[in-house]
A = this chain, B = another copy of it.
């Protein structure tokens, strides 16, 4: 029996699965993210032990970045200059590949989540869509023409600039690089600094949400004009507040001003802007889905 590995590398924990699909998980382990020297051997042990009677075919890794995804680069497959202590210049794809002797597919956590949603989730069967995670930070990944979009490095969709009316909202923004970029204005960190409590704790009728959905809709308007996605999936901690979806959809329609002539965008926005179908399993199942792209 052929099985695949999925590794979701997060800032606090690493989730590993051996599975043939989302409904057929053979084994799973969660490891704390400490140093690479301590953490990676535990990950590799899990896969080396394996599952009786099952042959590991490939491993997918979805991780925080930035990553080097340029196949002609000498540091291809590395986590590059991350702010996470100890994890800069770690050859994560190479270490896994050498230890397990199987093909390894590396991508960013958001791009893995996007591929997972395209394989088993809300974007199943679609060739052009984006997955945006709005949590502590904001990140995005896209699949276009049926393939994960890399570009030169990889997108950093949370850092686009959006209109910011400082008379209405004098908050300067949280981003250390750009101040009031989208992430600087609308990430979980920004919300916590602005409102003095975590986004998850704010009640649905709090004034925070009017502003938050305003910024999210402005960013989506830009992504729609730039990429023309067939579907937008919004995940992450902040988006667990499901009452945000109708507000965001209405504002996106307003901001587009009837310009994108598609009934899906203009009328049926409830089928255009959706939560992830894989929920909080999007990360690890996304990593698993990367491995399947190497299936032969």
- Count identical subunits in the complex: 2
Query: 0/1 per residue, A136-155, Cβ < 8 Å to B?
Result: 00001000110101111111
Question: Contact at A227–B151, with CB atoms within 8 Å?
Answer: yes
A257 at the interface (CB under 8 A from B): yes
Q: List A81-127 residues whose CB lies under 8 Å from chain B.
A: 81
A128 at the interface (CB under 8 A from B): yes
How many angstroms between the C-alpha atoms of A264 and B261 in the bound complex?
Answer: 37
Smallest beta-carbon distance A101→chain B, Å: 28
A162 at the interface (CB under 8 A from B): yes
Known: A145-B145, A226-B223, A226-B226. A259 touches B159 (CB 8 A): yes
Question: Contact at B226–A222, with CB atoms within 8 Å?
Answer: yes
Chain A contact surface mostly: loop
Known: A156-B225, A227-B226. A255 touches B178 (CB 8 A): yes
A221 at the interface (CB under 8 A from B): yes
Q: List A146-190 residues whose CB lies under 8 Å from chain B.
A: 147, 149-164, 177-178
Known: A128-B150, A163-B161, A227-B151. A156 touches B259 (CB 8 A): yes
Smallest beta-carbon distance A234→chain B, Å: 16
A296 at the interface (CB under 8 A from B): no
User: How big is the A interface, by class?
Assistant: 35 or more
Question: Contact at B163–A162, with CB atoms within 8 Å?
Answer: yes
A154 / chain B contacts, CB cutoff of 8 Å: 228
A66 at the interface (CB under 8 A from B): yes
A164 / chain B contacts, CB cutoff of 8 Å: 163
Q: List A199-236 residues whose CB lies under 8 Å from chain B.
A: 218, 221-223, 225-230
A80 at the interface (CB under 8 A from B): yes
**Contact partner of A151 among B229, B256, B261, CB < 8 A?**
B229
Question: Contact at B81–A151, with CB atoms within 8 Å?
Answer: no
Question: Contact at A152–B261, with CB atoms within 8 Å?
Answer: no
**Contact partner of A225 among B155, B259, B260, CB < 8 A?**
B155
A161 / chain B contacts, CB cutoff of 8 Å: 162-163, 218, 221-222, 255
Smallest beta-carbon distance A279→chain B, Å: 25
Q: List A13-43 residues whose CB lies under 8 Å from chain B.
A: none
Known: A178-B255, A218-B161, A255-B178. A150 touches B155 (CB 8 A): no
A12 at the interface (CB under 8 A from B): no
A-B residue pairs, 3 tightest by C-beta: A151-B228, A177-B257, A160-B222
